Amino acid sequence: MKFCSVCGHEVQLSVPPGDNRPRYRCAHCGTIHYQNPTMVLGTIPVWEDKVLLCRRAIEPRYGFWTLPAGFMENGETTAEGAQRETMEEAGARIALGEAFSMVDVPHVNQVHVFFRAELLDIAFAPGPESLETRLFTEAEVPWDAMAFRTVAQTLRWFFEDRRSGVYSMHTGAIRSPVPRPA
């Protein structure tokens, strides 16, 4: 950040009085510009014994598989965001269930939240950010081609819970990126 969004003057990085970490501050108008983590919301859409996945048509991770998910918008709840992203990414109509997983990803300043969901029908289709949408059994999931570790972890928790017959809320953190093979 270089300029104040309130008055347009240059900002400086410093610790405000009474705070404990550096923030961008405007010396002209006094505005402190807080930067906080971004929410990524999605669903685990299920049809019978299969889960709906999307193959990404955008970077990062173009061509890799993911659950339908994306960034929360201002003015919506986490549930509304998860439903919207499922429709945008996969054209899927769902009955939204309860929150299933919340994974902190501090190295990219994100929190990923996934909800369980039931597909209302199988009339889904790729949205503009998906190359393909497809239902997978657990054995068919392309584990080596998953776009994000948060999605792979959420799917592992989901299949474990489904086998046990008891669904729980899962939390975790992914602290650093995995080095990619050269």
Whether 46 is in a domain gets the answer yes
Are 29 and 75 within one domain?
Answer: no
Are 76 and 138 within one domain?
Answer: yes
Give the whole-number percent of the chain exceeding pLDDT 90.
Answer: 96
Q: pLDDT-derived band of residue 179, with 50, 70 and 90 as boundaries?
A: low
Are 3 and 83 within one domain?
Answer: no
Contacts for 37 with CB less than 8 Å, ≥ 6 apart: 104, 106, 109, 110, 111
User: Which residue has tokens 């709840």?
Assistant: 77
* Helix, strand, coil percentages, rounded to 5, for the chain: 20, 35, 40
**pTM for this predicted structure:** 0.90
Are 137 and 113 within one domain?
Answer: yes
Q: pLDDT-derived band of residue 113, with 50, 70 and 90 as boundaries?
A: very high
How does pLDDT run across 17-75, given as a tens digit for each residue?
Answer: 999 999 999 999 999 999 999 999 999 999 999 999 999 999 999 999 999 999 999 99
Mean pLDDT computed over 118-141: 98
Q: Tell me the C-alpha distance between 7 and 29, whole Å.
A: 7
Are 23 and 74 within one domain?
Answer: no
Q: Tell me the C-alpha distance between 68 and 55, whole Å.
A: 9
Q: What is the pLDDT of residue 18?
A: 92
**Antiparallel, parallel or unpaired: β 94-105 and 65-66:** unpaired
Q: Which residue range(s) make up the domain with 7? A: 1-35
Are 52 and 6 within one domain?
Answer: no
How does pLDDT run across 29-43, given as a tens digit for each residue?
Answer: 999 999 999 999 999
How does pLDDT run across 80-102, given as a tens digit for each residue?
Answer: 999 999 999 999 999 999 999 99
The count of structural domains within the chain is 2
Single-letter amino acid code for the residue at 173:
A
Whether 71 is in a domain gets the answer yes
Are 25 and 105 within one domain?
Answer: no
Using a 10 angstrom Cβ sphere, with 0-12 exposed, 13-18 middle and 19 or more buried, the burial of residue 182 is: exposed
Whether 180 is in a domain gets the answer no
Q: Tell me the C-alpha distance between 168 and 86, whole Å.
A: 21
Whether 182 is in a domain gets the answer no
| CATH classification at residue 109 | 3.90.79.10
Are 126 and 48 within one domain?
Answer: yes
| CATH classification at residue 3 | 2.20.70.10
Residue of 131, 51, 129, 56 whose CA lies nearest to 87? 129
Are 88 and 4 within one domain?
Answer: no
Are 27 and 65 within one domain?
Answer: no
